[in-house]
Structure 1
Amino acid sequence: MAGGRSRASGSSSPHCWILRVRRVMGTEVCSKRAASGAHDVGGRATQAVEVCLARVAARDRAIRAWAYVGAAQARAQADRLDELDRRANVVDRDLGVLHGVPIGVKDVIETADMPTAFGNRTYARRTSPHDAECVRRARAAGAIVVGKTATAEFALSAPPATRHPLASMRSPGGSSAGSAAAVAADMTPIALATQTGGSAIRPASYCGVVGFKPSFGLIDRRGVMPLSPSLDTVAVIGRSVDWVARCTAAIVDRPLLSVAARSLRVGLYLGSEDELDPLVAAALQEAAASFLSAGATVRSIALQADDAYLRRDHATIAIWEARAALSCHLDDPASLRATTRRVFATQSPCPGEFAAAVERAAHARANLERWFDGADIILAPSVTGPAPRRGSSGDPSPCLLWTLLHLPCLTLPTGIRDEGGLPIGIQLIAHPNEDPLLIAAARLLESCIAARHSKATQR
């Protein structure tokens, strides 16, 4: 059934986020630039960090989105940014696009000033001498790392203790559970994540926020824990499409908001409909109707005969490469949680199966038009249903094909919720390296859904 929107709309202009802390974070901490008189309570970056830390302190005991909170480190970085901000010869346009914005970083991504434990107790105190490249670039753009968000062990299937922000007995999904939950609970507007199967799209959809998995290789993976190098992708979860677009653009140093979505051709892909909860079908129809209202064309795209085989190929490649990445732990099973051990015990592809899967994946990537069939954007499920019970990360199957094909994907909420108020998102997919078009289509859909919901509530 259609309910209220599943998240706050966020700020449409993250570049000036701290100027609008009241609007974006729902607080009265500041409403204008702290250039005169605000010195006593800290500059705008400091104020933004204090808002974030206060929300973490108030909410995270129940949600457990954070594996580590670096309050001292965040405050020190905010002080440095505020000093830069106070210099008379510096104006807003000279500051980074993420200047003073607090972010979370998934606990499989290296940070020089905070531990990176990969969700595994063996590495609880492990530190790195360097930031991952994506973190380095985010900091260079002015982002302030508040802490490390909780992850499934080694970004696999053993979920962290994180709870869904809207229902404590439900899971936020995984493996980027903490990143999605922290954003959904308004503790931070952006969090870095990763995806090897459906690890960013799925939790973002369950939590009612925006999740963006860019084209394979768009974001530099140096300093990110390798799990399956053929599939691993750095992703961004945020409060709105603009948030994830501007954060990603800052990291990759290229514009992602430079394309207009005109005369879009949208292909509606349902996959195997018998796997989907009726609410997912309702969310897809809501999205399709929104695209139509904006002048796009929408038509159905047929399920391909080898879709199921390619999803199995994804699992074969991911498990084979994960075995290599985690070989030292497979030799010491006691260092792994039982759920992680079961993943490897029940899936053990042989070399021939891996080679065949790699070959089929390469062939599929060379023949993408079979899925697009003339469409610019594919509209597809991001999940099979609402967030599952705690202890499960949910079903990744709606994401596996697109991840295997190295396509850019973005999930956003539609306003559809289940009877308990849990949101259902949908997924948009574009051709490789057509990330700007994907962002443009997502912005269009986001605005149409907001307008449709506004009209519905006024009736």
Structure 2
Amino acid sequence: MPMISLAELQRRIDRGDLSADAAIAQSLEAIGAQDETIGAFVCHDPRARAAGAGPLRGIAVGIKDIIDTADFPTEMGSSIYRGWQPRADASVVEMLRRAGATIIGKTTTTAFASRDPTATLNPRNHGHTPGGSSSGSAAAVAAGMIPLALGTQTGGSVIRPASFCGVAAIKPSYRLLPTVGVKCYSWMLDTVGLFAAGVEDLAHGLSAMTNRPELLGDAAKTTPRIGLVMQEFAGAPEGSSGQALRIAVAAVERAGASVRTLAMPEIVAEAWRIHPVVQEFEAHQALAWEYRTHHDEIPPLMREKLDENVGIKPATYDEARAIANRARRALAKSFDDVDVLLTFSAPGAAPKGLASTGDARFNRLWTLMGVPCVNIPADVTDGGLPVGVQIIAGFGDDARALSAARFVEEALARR
């Protein structure tokens, strides 16, 4: 089933070609036809209807199940919270409702947005993972069930599953979207992001949620200056990701963009190395109650990681934060001569089977830096698996990230 374009739905609804209720009914029909196989939803409302007025009226949205919803349980992928019903919506859910969106259901997540895989299948190839931790959100959009979904990223949990499933996604600048009402893993890293069919759809969704029209872009599109970042400190990519990046570079150069290879300062590479220190130190505090009172109910991969990192010293954490702050300043200077960066979205295509949700090594630096990142599908392997590339802009420059990603997307479509 083809993906649903949010922007095209908006245009059809505005023209009167499609009613808002009919748009919601289409998503419900697609969920009914697809989700028994894919398993992207924890729960959904089969009687959902269009909500009030607003730019997202008629838009069905899936919410990652670590984000509080007053109308649905929030179980966080864990037996510890089975049946847990929040009293209030998270701030990002309320933002969607105010924009007129219909919250259609909760999408699957690895437990506490950590490592242990869900049973969700990759819609592009059912023998492969959709990625994690935002497994259900990426899969639901890729399968054509809904036009918009929320996920979160602490390491690579928005950009990586988007790459694996062949959808567009944005991890916005840190705290552009609030995390009030989102289960915390690491307060310095956790970022709410969006999944959609294309970059235009992301822009329309994020603009409507935040009331920021500048995110829709300017009619007079500019040709970006692109810095190519190979992330050598993160290790070599697989052949499929290397090929996707080469394809993207060739496409944007044909479209008139300048591309230059950019070396990252050493302090930026050092920040990549200390990301796990920040993540795991904060996880032990954010999940202290669960770790103390429900240790054996924490899934095995997450429990093993928490056990390994129980002894991180505050001084080590403080040093890591200082490195991150220096790296952010150094990274900001990298944008003096380029508008955006272009790099890998994931080490390769989606791994086979459901034992692993993939590796965040090409994502975690940018999460720590707090900068906006956009995934654009760039290639498809012989096995039908998508592979993406990501565009990265300076902190707070989400409009530029979306504009440049749209340029890359259009250049790839013409190749």
Q: TM-score range by the shorter chain?
A: over 0.9
Count of matched residue positions in the alignment of Structure 1 and Structure 2: 409
In the TM superposition, 1:343-354 aligns within 5 A as: 343-348=305-310, 349-354=312-317
In the TM superposition, 1:111-126 aligns within 5 A as: 111-126=69-84
SS of 2:376's partner is: strand
Letter in 2 for 1:257: L
Cα–Cα, structure 1 residues 247 and 9, in superposed 2: closer, same or farther, change >3 Å?
closer
Higher mean C-alpha displacement, 238-247 vs 423-432: 238-247
Measured against aligned partners, the alpha-carbon deviations of 1:314-359 in whole angstroms (never above 9, x if no partner) come to 1110111111111111112122111210111223422121111011
Letter in 2 for 1:138: L
Higher mean C-alpha displacement, 426-435 vs 346-355: 346-355
* Residue 394 of structure 1: aligned partner: 358
* Residue 429 of structure 1: aligned partner: 392
Q: 1:385 Cα shift? A: 0.5
Measured against aligned partners, the alpha-carbon deviations of 1:430-456 in whole angstroms (never above 9, x if no partner) come to 00111111111111111111122xxxx
Contact 1:119-1:152 within 8 A present in 2 as well: yes
* Residue 379 of structure 1: aligned partner: 342
In the TM superposition, 1:194-209 aligns within 5 A as: 194-209=152-167
Equivalent-residue separation in structure 1 for 2:9 and 2:236 (angstroms): 37
Q: 2:270 aligns with which of 290, 297, 309?
A: 309
Contact 2:2-2:144 within 8 A present in 1 as well: no
* Residue 227 of structure 2: aligned partner: 267
Q: 1:420 Cα shift? A: 0.5
* Residue 336 of structure 1: aligned partner: 298
In the TM superposition, 1:135-284 aligns within 5 A as: 135-255=93-213, 256-259=215-218, 260-272=220-232, 275-284=236-245
* Residue 42 of structure 2: aligned partner: 67
Q: 1:372 Cα shift? A: 3.8
Letter in 1 for 2:291: L
Contact 1:14-1:243 within 8 A present in 2 as well: no
1:291 aligns with 2:252: yes
* Residue 84 of structure 1: aligned partner: none
1:451 aligns with 2:414: yes
Equivalent-residue separation in structure 2 for 1:289 and 1:269 (angstroms): 15
Contact 2:3-2:147 within 8 A present in 1 as well: no
Contact 1:13-1:242 within 8 A present in 2 as well: no
Letter in 1 for 2:298: L
Larger radius of gyration: 1
1:322 aligns with 2:286: no
Q: 1:12 Cα shift? A: 4.6
Once superposed, what is the RMSD of the aligned Cα atoms? 2.0
Q: 1:210 Cα shift? A: 0.4
Equivalent-residue separation in structure 2 for 1:275 and 1:153 (angstroms): 29
Equivalent-residue separation in structure 1 for 2:4 and 2:256 (angstroms): 23
Equivalent-residue separation in structure 2 for 1:355 and 1:7 (angstroms): 47
| TM-score, normalised relative to structure 1 | 0.85
Contact 1:103-1:146 within 8 A present in 2 as well: yes
Cα–Cα, structure 1 residues 278 and 125, in superposed 2: closer, same or farther, change >3 Å?
same
* Structure 1 unaligned regions, length at least 5: 1-5, 21-30, 34-43, 82-94, 453-459
Higher mean C-alpha displacement, 199-208 vs 54-63: 54-63
Cα–Cα, structure 1 residues 423 and 274, in superposed 2: closer, same or farther, change >3 Å?
same
| TM-score, normalised relative to structure 2 | 0.94
SS of 2:10's partner is: helix
Cα–Cα, structure 1 residues 96 and 115, in superposed 2: closer, same or farther, change >3 Å?
same
1:439 aligns with 2:402: yes
* Structure 2 unaligned regions, length at least 5: none
Measured against aligned partners, the alpha-carbon deviations of 1:91-137 in whole angstroms (never above 9, x if no partner) come to xxxx4111111110000111111111111112121111111111111
SS of 2:367's partner is: helix
* Residue 55 of structure 1: aligned partner: 30
Equivalent-residue separation in structure 2 for 1:263 and 1:111 (angstroms): 41
Contact 1:179-1:193 within 8 A present in 2 as well: yes
Cα–Cα, structure 1 residues 49 and 14, in superposed 2: closer, same or farther, change >3 Å?
closer
Higher mean C-alpha displacement, 345-354 vs 108-117: 345-354
SS of 2:127's partner is: coil
Letter in 2 for 1:115: P
